[in-house]
Amino acid sequence: QTRPMPQPGILDIAPYKAGEGHVAGANAITKLSSNENPHGPSPAAMEAVRAAAETLAVYPSSDHAALRTAIGEVWNLDPARIVCGAGSDEIISLLCQSYAGPGDEVLYTEHGFAMYPISAMAAGATPVQVRERHRTADVDALLEAVTERTAMVFIANPNNPTGTMLPPEELARLAAGLPGRVMLVLDGAYAEYVPGYDAGAALVDAHENVVMTRTFSKIYGLGGLRIGWGYAPAHVIEVLNRVRGPFNVSAAGLAAAEAAVRDTAYTERCRAANAEWRGFMQRELNALGLPTDESHANFVLPRFPGPEMAAAADQRLRAHGIIVRPVGGYGLPDFLRITIGDEVACRRVIAILDEFLKERA
Ligand code: PMP
């Protein structure tokens, strides 16, 4: 060898392809490709970031105590069993690093989030895709896929990019059916969009092998600050705190997230606005002849009559400065994932698709 080589399997990983449209200062672009909050963060979070900017030379809190306390109060969780990370991506990665390795299998659903197989492979483990039913996770298929090598199971609820979700009883059946040695990770990145949903917190309390991940990137509008968190049994928290870097979350991220999670009135307004315009988008898309599954998140997934139409519609939207997400890489070439924007963006998307489809009729 003439140069350092990565661990076996690393070069088999296809890099994560982020949503396009991240062009600084390009106001002409409407980015509906990464499920961001079109209304941005709470004003209280903005104020907290400004205040944090006064002490940038100082390292941030290492134990994230203030943020964990705030999350615990708002969600009624034990702050001692919360861990914070640079986005929930980091929590996912730390979990794989700590609980999966060569020879282990990591299960994820057919149209599950791309970081599950990437993080599994980065840990040297083997990702195993499990079929869904009607673009929805299938508990029986997941349980049947478990072997003696299975170390972890990932499921996002609601799921990205399908927007579908399992009812809590189905999650409970999955948790109860897995061997105790298999870790079940319930990814609640979009949980705040579902009224009354605890994102699996009660299952974490009831099982030694269930973990929940959450993010400040979606409804809280803080994707740019990279902050997420996990809720887990004490023994898992203890392990993650050994592996994570001491200053893995920035001071600005901690301050903004604490203010954001406490501003429950703002979160509720964002949830309600999303529900209203998601309803509009689903109705209008369906009226245009583009079916959608019922979405429980902040995006919709219309089906086009074939991959060429989906690609052409993507190009047409793009020509008007609207960037959405092709999901062929998720095995959904007939679909486009469209984040729910503000009213102006939603109406524009529908008008452009209406014109496009009339031309093609
Ligand atoms: N899980 C799911 C299901 C997601 O859609 C995303 C964002 N695309 C993430 C996790 C990661 O989000 P973040 O790292 O910004 O918290």
Domain match, 215 and 315 both:
no
> Tokens 């509008």 map to which residue?
221
Cα–ligand 1 centroid distance for 358 (angstroms): 35
Domain match, 323 and 246 both:
no
Domain match, 222 and 332 both:
no
Taking the model in full, what pTM does it have? 0.95
Domain match, 252 and 279 both:
no
Rounded to two decimals, the ipTM of the complex is: 0.99
Cα–ligand 1 centroid distance for 130 (angstroms): 20
Number of domains in the chain: 2
Q: Is residue 56 part of a domain?
A: yes
String of DSSP letters for 113-161: -THHHHHHHHTT-EEEEE--BTTB--HHHHHHH--TTEEEEEEESS-TT
- Given 237, 263, 289, the domain boundary residue is 263
What stretches in the chain show pLDDT beneath 70?
A: 22-27
Is the beta carbon of 157 within 6 A of some atom in ligand 1? no
Residue 308's contacts (CB-CB under 8 Å, 6 or more residues apart) are: none
Q: Is residue 4 part of a domain?
A: no
Domain match, 88 and 122 both:
yes
In CATH, what number is assigned to the domain containing residue 276? 3.90.1150.10
Domain match, 88 and 224 both:
yes
- Given 246, 263, 280, the domain boundary residue is 263
Q: What is the pLDDT of residue 81?
A: 98
Ligand 1 atom closest to the Cα of residue 190 is 3
Domain match, 181 and 287 both:
no
> Tokens 């998140």 map to which residue?
297
Cα–ligand 1 centroid distance for 90 (angstroms): 10
Domain match, 183 and 296 both:
no
> Tokens 């189905």 map to which residue?
170
pLDDT, tens only, 30-62: 999 999 999 999 999 999 999 999 999 999 999
Round to whole Å and give the CA distance between 137 and 141: 8
Q: Is residue 99 part of a domain?
A: yes
Candidate from 22, 217, 229, 325 with most ligand 1 atoms within 8 A of CB, to mutate: 217
Q: Is residue 72 part of a domain?
A: yes
Cα separation values, 210 from 79, 103, 230, Å: 16, 21, 11
With contact defined as beta carbons under 8 Å apart, do 229 and 91 qualify? yes
Residues in the chain: 361
String of DSSP letters for 162-230: T-----HHHHHHHHHHS-TTSEEEEE-TTGGGSTT--TTHHHHHH-TTEEEEEESSSTT--GGG--EEE
Domain match, 112 and 242 both:
yes
Q: What is the pLDDT of residue 21?
A: 74
Q: Is residue 3 part of a domain?
A: no
By three-state DSSP, how is residue 186 classified? strand
With contact defined as beta carbons under 8 Å apart, do 278 and 296 qualify? no
- Given 247, 263, 279, the domain boundary residue is 263
Q: What is the pLDDT of residue 162?
A: 97
Q: What is the pLDDT of residue 127?
A: 98
pLDDT, tens only, 187-196: 999 999 999 9
Q: What is the pLDDT of residue 17?
A: 87
Domain match, 140 and 207 both:
yes
Is the beta carbon of 188 within 6 A of some atom in ligand 1? no
Domain match, 134 and 27 both:
no
- Identify the domain containing residue 88 by its residue range: 43-263
Cα–ligand 1 centroid distance for 356 (angstroms): 31
Q: What is the pLDDT of residue 25?
A: 53
Q: What is the pLDDT of residue 296?
A: 98
Candidate from 115, 212, 214, 219 with most ligand 1 atoms within 8 A of CB, to mutate: 115
